[in-house]
Structure 1
Amino acid sequence: METKSHYFWAARLPDEAKHAIHARLGPKQSDFQFKRWVHEDDYHITLAFLGYAEPQQLDVSAEIIGQAIRDETSFPLAINHIGVFGRGDNPRIFWGGMAREERLFQLQTLVFKACLQAGFKLDKRPFTPHITLARNWSGESFERQWLAEHNPFKDEIPFSVNEVVLYRTKMGSAPKYETVTNLLLNR
């Protein structure tokens, strides 16, 4: 049975930021007891998860998003802390986070509304910007203080958000995400 690809719109991280994140995590992976680590080329900030979609609906979303963000300019962010999603003692997702930046929330709102206009049914949970780093805790019972003790981003990693990308998931591949469309922000 063929697996259908899932799609999502995201803010792409520049390669230098991806390499810096990966370099900081590498020596600490034994401290971070997660089963699966995200390939460094797959680091991104999800703006709207679409799920399965027909090509024509993806094209419509790209056209509407292109119009919605045509006046948007690049802006700076910095990864500076870590967190988890899932059960407190056994988290599902380990992520890197950024200080709140209104421009990122504005960009996500534009992309989200454009996807709704293109006919997608989207998750209505509040936007929690993050970069997924690993999945599925495999150690003993997880302790929250572990996050502060092991934060590899105390010295933040700055980067610029320069483009919005439509990614396709390629299950069983590494890297797992393939660029379908990219839309550059003004500089």
Structure 2
Amino acid sequence: MRLFVALNPPTEVLRALGEAVDRGRSHGRPLRWTHSDDWHITLVFLGEVEEERLPVLTEAIGAAARTQRPLSLAVEGWGRFPPRGRRSSVLWAGVTGDLDALDALARGMRRAARSVRIPVERRPYVPHLTVARSRPPSDLAEVVEDLGELRGARWRARDVHLIESRPGSADRYRTVQTWALGWEADSERPPELDTP
């Protein structure tokens, strides 16, 4: 199973992002635009995981999720990978809000994977939603300009999802399991954590 852990923005946030992306689609540059069903904020990519390892993995992820709190997030701004130079292969929408807590959540998910001997990348975490790919890499500056300003509504991310990626399938992503972030489920959490 090819797996990753992610946050899924709500429908209204994805709809607003779709409207913004439509402006870029009209640009003449040949890009592979991703579908809104593919838009998520990856916390950690796990790669191929044997199905028999799923119970220990889900236990570790669930324990990590319970240590974190819900996050106030928004989709805002555009970026590219690689970020420097004139040629990029990925165009993405950025994420703002509780970024320190989001980074801690991503680190917690990486630790959970490593604790059950699933190797994960150690590069710095950059939260984003991939909206297009360029093959071969190209200068995406004009596309970013055509996309214009991106300022999305805030939402409260309350759950993390373990997702199976199934390339070539009609249902490309399948949610394997979902966990509420711990402080949301804890009735004794401080009330100020409920405010966005």
Category of TM-score, reference length = shorter chain: 0.7 to 0.9
Q: 1:91: which partner in 2? A: 88
Cα deviation for residue 111 of structure 1 reads: 0.8
1:40 correspondence with 2:43: no
Q: Cα 1:17–1:32, aligned 2, differ >3 Å: closer, same or farther? A: farther
Distance change >3 Å, CA 18–CA 132, structure 1 → 2: same
Ranges in structure 2 where 5+ consecutive residues have no aligned partner: 185-193
Any runs of at least 4 consecutive aligned residues in structure 1 with deviations exceeding 4 A, and if so which?
none
Residues 1:165 and 2:161 aligned together: yes
- 1:174 shift after superposition: 4.9
* Residues 90 and 132 in structure 2, CA contact (< 8 A), matched pair in contact too: yes
User: How far 1:155 moved relative to its partner?
Assistant: 2.9
Q: How many residues align?
A: 181
Task: Give CA deviations for 1:34-78 in whole Å, capped at 9, x if unaligned.
Answer: 532212111111111111111132321211121122143321111
Pair 1:104–1:168, CA change in 2 (3 A): same
How far apart are 1:123 and its partner, in Å? 0.9
**Would you say the 8 A contact 2:91–2:140 is kept in 1?**
no
Compute the displacement of 1:130 (Å). Answer: 0.9
The one-letter code matched in structure 1 to 2:104 is Q
- Name the stretch that deviates more: 171-180 or 48-57: 171-180
Structure number with higher helix proportion: 2
Q: 1:1-54: CA deviations, max 9, x gaps? A: xxxx42111112222211221122123312273532212111111111111111
Q: Is the 8 A contact 1:79 1:153 kept in 2?
A: no
Q: Is the 8 A contact 1:41 1:175 kept in 2?
A: no
TM-score by length of 1: 0.84
The farther-off stretch of 173-182 and 73-82 is 173-182
Alignment partners' CA distance in 2, 1:32 and 1:15? 28
Equivalent residues in 2 for 1:93-108, closer than 5 Å: 93-99=90-96, 101-108=99-106
Runs of 5+ unmatched residues, structure 1: none
Cα RMSD of the aligned pairs, angstroms, is: 2.4
Which of 115, 120, 127 is equivalent to 2:125?
127
Corresponding position: 1:28 with 2:33: no
TM value normalised by structure 2:
0.81
